[in-house]
Structure 1
Amino acid sequence: MTTAPNGTPCWYELTTSNPDGAQAFYTAVLGWTIADAGMPGMDYRLASAGGDMVAGLWVPDQPGMPTFWMVYFTTNDCDAAAKAIAKAGGTVHKQPADIPGTGRFAVVTDPQGAVFGLLQPLDDTGNAFDQKQQGHGNWHELMTTDPKAAMAFYGKQFGWKASTSMDMGEMGSYDLFNHQGADIGGMMRLSPNMPGPQMPFWLPYFGADGIDAAVARITKAGGKVVNGPHDVPGGAFIVVATDPQGAMFALVGPK
């Protein structure tokens, strides 16, 4: 059983109906190297950046699943974590199961309905999340109907702590959360004026070498910019976009 801290972002996974199109898009936009994982009976592809595996792309075997990005967080006991989430008002969509050579995982939602994954890795957590590396996960944004309740839920499950809160005017506040001494994401109230699904969801941010250049690559590769680019505190710039299949993601980096 791993001793990784609960709640460390550790994997990013795209559910898509067009893996070839998604592979071409993210290779062009983020410079990922993507290869088949060799999993019998399913199309699962592994994306690498800077020598680190950072994300998975897969085609679900059940029809009707939406195209979306899901974030996985570590747990040192997947079964116990899934039970605790259900007891706290969340839902377990995929019961804990083993991934040979990787660990034990589950797919759950928080009480407001945002989907995320749990992973109990066999050894270390890998390097998919690295706020200093391009092409890696850099930030995690939760759009939710109840930010206060969400912060309390994740605080209890993962030990996250509320950090800086920024006034966003009519949109409410943007509430950062801290894990292991670093801010790793923010939460804000879902608004009908926001792009994206009108239900709670996690939005992953990947590191980019330059936002203006990334925007050009997104549009050239068939994606769509839905918000930004604009600057954020700390001197970085962000852009929110959708890939050609409609999955929403975001990028952060210098201008």
Structure 2
Amino acid sequence: MTAPAYNTVAWFQVGSNEPDRVKDFYGALFGWNFASDPNGGGTYDLVSYPGSEIPHGGVAHTPDPAGNHAIFYVLVQDVAATVAAAEQHGGKISTPPFTSPDGLVFAKILDTSGNCFGVFSPAPK
């Protein structure tokens, strides 16, 4: 399997205060499969599609309905440069670049209509 191309949607996340219910919904609707993320501390599940062994998204367990969301993430080479370019083009930064303990870098951006999306670069191998 090849890695997704840069500047393409490569991950999605659904946040729900009722994760079992939302997993039942998407599982029944699209046949998605779910597994607990070994790095998620019991608050994140990985989503894989039928016929695919690798995850393509996740379900975040949110503490209350105010945190429910659906968001897509675009794979980029340089998160900081993408954030700077987004601001130059009229976007706003919702979450500044952050590096996770495993080295994945991500940020959240609001487009010119206020829609939130994320950008990320994978952890170094």
Q: Please state which band the TM-score falls in when normalised by the shorter chain.
A: 0.7 to 0.9
Query: Given the alignment of the two structures, is residue 221 of structure 1 paired with residue 89 of structure 2, yes or no?
Result: yes
Per the TM alignment, residue 235 of structure 1 is displaced from its structure 2 partner at its CA by 3.5
CA distance in 2, matches of 1:154, 1:233: 29
Match of 2:120 in 1: 252
CA distance in 2, matches of 1:150, 1:177: 12
Amino acid at match of 2:59: M
Gaps of 5+ in 1: 1-129
Per the TM alignment, residue 184 of structure 1 is displaced from its structure 2 partner at its CA by 0.6
| Aligned-residue CA RMSD (Å) | 2.6
Match of 2:22 in 1: 150
Match of 1:115 in 2: none
Per the TM alignment, residue 239 of structure 1 is displaced from its structure 2 partner at its CA by 0.7
Per the TM alignment, residue 247 of structure 1 is displaced from its structure 2 partner at its CA by 0.8
Identity of aligned residues (%): 25
Match of 1:201 in 2: 69
Match of 2:105 in 1: 237
Amino acid at match of 1:175: D
In terms of fraction of residues, the more strand-rich structure is 1
SS of the equivalent of 1:183 reads coil
2:48 to 175, 178, 190: 178
Per the TM alignment, residue 217 of structure 1 is displaced from its structure 2 partner at its CA by 0.9
User: After superposition, what is the alpha-carbon deviation per residue over 1:167-206, rounded to whole angstroms, capped at 9, x for unaligned?
Assistant: 2xxxx702111222110111113356xxxx9474320111
Per the TM alignment, residue 248 of structure 1 is displaced from its structure 2 partner at its CA by 0.7
Q: Is the 8 A contact 1:210 1:254 kept in 2?
A: no
* Cα 1:234–1:152 shift into 2, 3 Å: farther
SS of the equivalent of 2:90 reads coil
* Cα 1:185–1:131 shift into 2, 3 Å: farther
Query: Given the alignment of the two structures, is residue 190 of structure 1 paired with residue 62 of structure 2, yes or no?
Result: yes
Per the TM alignment, residue 164 of structure 1 is displaced from its structure 2 partner at its CA by 3.3
Q: Is the 8 A contact 1:134 1:207 kept in 2?
A: yes
Query: Runs in 1 of length 4+ with deviation above 4 angstroms?
Result: none
**Count of residues in correspondence between the two structures:** 118
Per the TM alignment, residue 234 of structure 1 is displaced from its structure 2 partner at its CA by 5.5
Gaps of 5+ in 2: none
Per the TM alignment, residue 147 of structure 1 is displaced from its structure 2 partner at its CA by 0.8
CA distance in 1, matches of 2:68, 2:3: 24
Match of 1:211 in 2: 79
* Cα 1:203–1:220 shift into 2, 3 Å: same
Q: Which has the higher contact order (CA 8 A, sep 6+)?
A: 2
* Cα 1:204–1:164 shift into 2, 3 Å: same
CA distance in 2, matches of 1:191, 1:224: 26
Query: Given the alignment of the two structures, is residue 164 of structure 1 paired with residue 27 of structure 2, yes or no?
Result: no
